[in-house]
A = this chain, B = another copy of it.
Amino acid sequence: MTERNIQVEPIDRRAVEDQDIEIVERKGIGHPDSICDGIAEAISSALSQAYLDRVGKVLHYNTDETQLVAGSSNPQFGGGEMVEPIYILLTGRATKEYEGTKIPTDTIALEAARDYLNENIPELDVGTDVILDVKLGEGSGDLQSVFSEDGATVPMANDTSFGVGHAPLSETEQIVLNAEDRLNNEFVAEYPALGPDVKIMGKRERDTIDVTVAAAMVDSYIDNRDEYDEMVENVRDYVHGVAEEYTDREVNIHVNTADTEDSIYLTTTGTSAEMGDDGSVGRGNRANGLITPNRSMSMEATSGKNPVNHIGKIYNLLSTSIAETVVSEVDGIRDMRVRLLSQIGRPIDEPHVADAQVVTEDGVTLADIEDDIVAIVDEELANVTTITERAVNGDVRTF
């Protein structure tokens, strides 16, 4: 039996799916806060890999403070232009020299940010529409980590921190998460007029789900108001179709509800960062991609944190992973919350407490499944360094 302190207990609330009112939000990949999250995590992954390539281990860094200052634009049917560029300051700490080897952290960060923007916000011309600036301080040398290419050893927690994860997603959560994801992948392939800045708010009152979508349209693909209105209608229909895959409840879709006769959500680049909306890391989606006030959330910004030794990042990712694994492998769970609390000075695979709180389905008792849950939690904790590996490879969702 494990020596880890794993507790399984009933959750002290109803399953979110059973609550009367539920609110769920997701800021899409082109939202200014998400742009910052995405850049921060892309830099993190690039730095990790550069350290491994050059010195064989990941050195100390944190790049979780990217700040976006909005530009201004002049969108026009058929194609407008940026007037003042967006300014993005890449900031944080990174180790710049190690045993005589210099690591060009600033140019790595700039390149990672540029590549990320080119791939994810393609209408932005990086360099004219966006200024990328960098102020990476020197990390303190004594925090160098032990994650090396020879394999990972489990680091000690150097902070008291807390991670929380949930599973399964409620219907409303699934709708919000998948609607944004599929709009920005499947839908946009057919309709390039949709920009990546899609913000979705889901509100469920008992058995009625209202999904409100704010979708930035790209002016160069839209020649007049009729085409704009048609695109709004296309988005509505598409999201409705997505929603029906995840629920039998009544669903109402609202798209760009703030539009008036004179004012519509037309942009030149597909993101509201072009005109007045600033952004920061850690202000938007939590590590599971959602903002869920009905559930416990960690304030910790996950994107851009060092995945080797930042306990907040690791525990947020790991608790989510644990919850998802448990729910997929153990039957009878209606709602589950996993909390991990670190203890300074002990290995991170031995948290002060790992706390699995469960709402079982009717006919299932916690006693029936407790051992299975403990076993999975234990195994996932034992494999904590796979979280690090995946983050180094850019293979985790952090926002």
Contact = CB atoms under 8 A, between A and B. Distances in A.
Given A278-B92, A355-B21, A131 B128 contact: no
Interface stretch (A78-86, A167-175, A325-333): A78-86
B67 A82 contact: no
- Most chain B CB within 10 A, of A64, A114, A258, A280, is at A280
A134 interface: yes
Contact of A131 (B72, B132, B142, B284): B132
A26 to B, nearest CB: 12
Interface string A111-142: 10010000000000011110111110111101
A280 B278 contact: no
Interface in A56-73: 62, 64-65, 67, 69-72
A285 to B, nearest CB: 9
Interface in A20-60: 20-21, 23
Interface in A362-393: none
A91 to B, nearest CB: 5
A243 interface: no
Interface stretch (A180-188, A217-225, A245-253, A288-296): A288-296
Interface residues of A, number: 82
A208 interface: no
Interface in A260-296: 263, 275-276, 278-284, 286, 291, 293-294, 296
Interface stretch (A102-110, A147-155, A226-234): A102-110
Contacts of A145: none
A258 B139 CA distance: 18
A82 B87 CA distance: 22
A345 B64 CA distance: 36
Contact of A104 (B70, B84, B162): B84
A83 B102 contact: yes
A299 interface: yes
Given A110-B128, A162-B293, A282-B283, A276 B140 contact: yes
A206 interface: no
Contacts of A64: 278
A360 interface: no
A146 interface: no
A263 B280 CA distance: 32
Given A162-B23, A280-B65, A281-B280, A107 B128 contact: yes
Given A65-B278, A107-B128, A12 B21 contact: no
Contacts of A138: 72
Nearest to A97: B83
A106 B83 contact: yes
A296 B284 CA distance: 16
A132 B131 CA distance: 7
A74 to B, nearest CB: 6
Contact of A110 (B104, B110, B131): B131
A84 B110 contact: no
Contacts of A104: 74, 81-84
A137 B279 CA distance: 13
Given A127-B126, A162-B293, A297-B299, A81 B107 contact: yes
Given A83-B104, A126-B127, 17 more contacts: A62-B278, A65-B278, A67-B89, A69-B89, A74-B104, A81-B107, A83-B106, A107-B128, A110-B128, A110-B131, A164-B293, A203-B341, A280-B283, A283-B299, A293-B297, A293-B299, A297-B297
12 contacts: A65-B67, A70-B93, A74-B104, A83-B104, A83-B106, A84-B104, A85-B134, A160-B203, A162-B293, A280-B283, A282-B283, A293-B296
